[in-house]
Structure 1
Amino acid sequence: MVFRKTHWSAAALCTALVANAVSAEPVFQTPTQVPAARSALATRVTFNALAMAGGRMVVAGQRGHILLSEDGAAWKQAQVPVSSDLTALSFPTPNEGWAVGHEGVILHTSNGGESWDRRLDGKQAAALILKAYGTPGRTDDPAAQRLKVDAEAFAAQGADKPFLDVWFEDSEKGFAIGAFNLILRTEDGGKTWTPWLDRIDNPKGLHLYAVRRAGGAVFIVGEQGLVLKLDREGQRFVNVPLPYQGTLFGVVGTKAVTVVFGLRGNALRSTDGGATWARVDTGVNAGLASGLVRPDGAIVLVSQAGDVLLSTDDGASFARVKVANAAPTFAVAQQGKGTLALAGVGGVRLQQVK
């Protein structure tokens, strides 16, 4: 066997090295194209959302990570087709669930969170909005013109608008809401989505942070004290005046009471469907991030500083619960009788609350 010695000129060597570097350069893929990575450290990421799928806990957060647990001790990572940061979860039934997040993703599961499929992303959402509002019927209508401009902006900017919350009242009907007045409605279990940008009293295009049923109605809350209430007959969200202009992150309540909450520990309470509001002294100064109503009717709020607040008088007052290992908390769920699951920085913690 004869080995031939090859002599490379400096120019040829540089050309070969550049060609090799170019050919080896990875092709950029967006988070909507890359599945969530499997990782033994997934339980330690920051989780933004937490929901109960029957007796199972489901959490979602950074880089598309979704995890499941029956007891809060052992966790299983779900199969997720995107690596976008996820912001919210909704399970109208123990099997049917929804997740939303950055890059405009909407995900669905039909097996209690074990695996997920992508139903929509930001580009598809922008296309729906452009189709709905890109050609206004009346060119002299300022509202129609504004919607046309917004629709063109959504389309031009692509998949950069996040969904910030999702809520389904049953397995068929739900809303996904987000930044800059982003709101979609489905009435067929997510097979089709309809933009509702023209059915919401939000002319400034403020961010929409949460949508929930409370006080016998469906409310949306957002920036600058924005509160909107669903007029079911008119099929639109109407503005509800609020004596507070700070950002609201959440809404919670019973059939008789509605509590909205947000920055610097601010919370307000209504017992008449949002017609009038009274401030509630929460005793904390951190942003209130999430809340729930326990089976016994008590209301729980949690803060971004790790505070846990409990009200046993329909939200008229709150007492701080002693927490063993406080950490920034972004979501809460009732894991069992007397036990709360708290999700946020560093994973999920269980907290006993009497």
Structure 2
Amino acid sequence: MVTIYDIAKKANVSAMTVSKVINNTGRISEQTRKRVKKVMEELNYIPNSNARSLVLQQTQILSLLITDITNPFYTSLARGAEDSAKKLGYRLLFGNSDEDYNKEQDYVDMILSTRVDGVLFAPAGDHSLKHLEKLRAHNIPFVIMDRAVPGIDSDIVSGDSKQGARNLVDYLINLGHRRIALVNGSLDVSTARLRYEGYAEALRLHGIELDDELVLHKSYREYNDEDQLSRLLEQPSPPTAIFAANNFLAVGVINALRKRGIRVPEDMSVVCFDDLDLSSALDPFLTVAAQPAYQFGAMGIQLLVERIQGSALPEARKVILPSELIIRSSAKTIGS
């Protein structure tokens, strides 16, 4: 195994000089630095990250913990985070909680044992508070992504869920719809609460009474409850449109409708929060409130690195990124 002493001997410098080059510390001439790096490449030397972290008190490793890597929103967010981390000289470890608090706790414990410099954290929900408090107790900087957690004040990058939901419901109302159902996530998730508020506010501002029978609260991960959808559709005055609070719920709703022979948008209009993956660009269909997911990740990493490297930052910085209403072909005009 190649050591720094082997490199020092071949480069005709001291082992201390080699260590300074590896850790980018001390004053060394550019000529010497290049000579040492050339020898490192010739000998295929890979620095010991654990030893380096002891010198710098940093590992140059960040963690990204998200709730569902199969969701296109988080896939794009992760890419933005990875690209930004690489540009800033950090490596990124990924974790996926599957919206599960126990799994999230396991990842937090792993993060603490790995000695990462900071965490980009998309919480499973309100009960993630204890996991964030655990990171804070161990002085691990973190930035919250997408979902706020009551009881914790920290840097956060989130979308404007309430306004995005209002825009979607306004759009449906302007098409003539009055019976609009909401298939939402669990109310222990902040974005689900905000999207419900936006839905309710849009109805109220248009003089439409909110009907609780038209509101379903499920998991964000997938909608597959045939009985609940049947109750929606078999009401005396069924909905003419459905607002799905995220892309997975929208796909589940559309698949369930198709099983019943209900066509979208001919028989039922459907809109959703968040866009689908790139395949949707081949056959644009769903009208969506699209969030800039890549920017979520890139900006989150930027805030996190600033938090790691800066000691005179404000207590908490909050960035809210607006969504874009993209009108496609999944909703139709009704009435006259």
Q: What TM-score does the superposition give when structure 2 sets the normalisation length?
A: 0.25
Which structure has more relative contact order (CA 8 Å, sep 6+)? It is: 2
| Structure with greater strand share of residues | 1
| Structure with greater helix share of residues | 2
Which protein is bigger by CA-based radius of gyration? 2
Q: What TM-score does the superposition give when structure 1 sets the normalisation length?
A: 0.24
